[in-house]
Amino acid sequence: MTKKILFLVLILSCSACQSVSYYQQAISGHLGLVLSAKKVNAVLGSDDESELLKEKLRQVQDIVRFSREHMALGDSVRFDRYVEIEGDYVTWIVYASPPYRMESKTWCYLFVGCAPYRGFFDQQDALDFSGLLREDGLDTYVAGVRAYSTLGWFNDPILSSMMKIDRSSLARLIFHESAHGRVWIKGDVAFNESFASFVAEQGLAQWLDKFGFHGSEVPPLAPASHKTDWTNLKEFLIVLRKELASIYTTVNLTSVEVGAQKSRKISEWLSCYEKNKNQLGRGRYDGLVYRSINNALLMSLATYSDWVPSFRKIFEDSKGNWQRFFEEVEALGDLAKAERKKRLRALAQHDVAGGSDHNGSTKIQCEAL
The answer to whether residues 289 and 267 touch, using CB atoms and an 8 Å cutoff, is no
- Return the pLDDT at 39: 94
Task: Spell out the domain ranges in the chain.
Answer: 1-36
Residues of the chain with pLDDT > 70: what percent? 84
Task: Report whether pLDDT(9) > 90.
Answer: no
Highest averaged pLDDT of the listed ranges 1-15, 142-156, 227-241, 272-286: 272-286
> pTM for this one?
0.82
- Return the pLDDT at 350: 75
Per DSSP, what are the bridge partners of residue 143?
A: 93
Instruction: In whole angstroms, give the CA distance from residue 89 to residue 176.
Output: 16
Instruction: In whole angstroms, give the CA distance from residue 234 to residue 301.
Output: 7
Q: 253-285 b/e with 16+ CB inside 10 Å = b?
A: eeeeebeebbeebeebbeebbeebbebbbeeeb
Residue 346, Cβ neighbours under 10 Å: how many? 12
Least confident among 24-33, 144-153, 254-263: 144-153
Q: What is the pLDDT of residues 100-127, one digit of tens each?
A: 999 999 998 877 788 899 999 999 999 9
- Return the pLDDT at 136: 97
- Return the pLDDT at 292: 85
- Return the pLDDT at 52: 93
The strand pair at 158-159 and 81-83 is best described as parallel
The answer to whether residues 308 and 192 touch, using CB atoms and an 8 Å cutoff, is no
What's the pLDDT band for 349 if we cut at 50, 70, 90? Answer: confident
What's the pLDDT band for 360 if we cut at 50, 70, 90? Answer: very low
Average pLDDT of the segment spanning 63-82: 88
- Return the pLDDT at 68: 93
Q: What is the pLDDT of residues 281-313, one digit of tens each?
A: 889 899 999 988 999 999 998 888 889 999 999
- Return the pLDDT at 231: 80
- Return the pLDDT at 24: 84
Quick check: helix, strand or coil at residue 142? Answer: strand
Q: What is the pLDDT of residues 197-218, one digit of tens each?
A: 999 999 999 998 888 655 444 4
- Return the pLDDT at 110: 74
Instruction: In whole angstroms, give the CA distance from residue 205 to residue 171.
Output: 10
Least confident among 33-47, 120-134, 355-369: 355-369
CB contact set of 328 (below 8 Å; sequence gap of 6+): 314, 317, 318
State how far Cα 339 lies from the chain centre: 24
- Return the pLDDT at 235: 87
Instruction: In whole angstroms, give the CA distance from residue 93 to residue 85.
Output: 17
- Return the pLDDT at 351: 57
Q: What is the pLDDT of residues 216-231, one digit of tens each?
A: 444 444 333 334 687 8
What's the pLDDT band for 364 if we cut at 50, 70, 90? Answer: low
Mean pLDDT, rounded, of the chain: 85
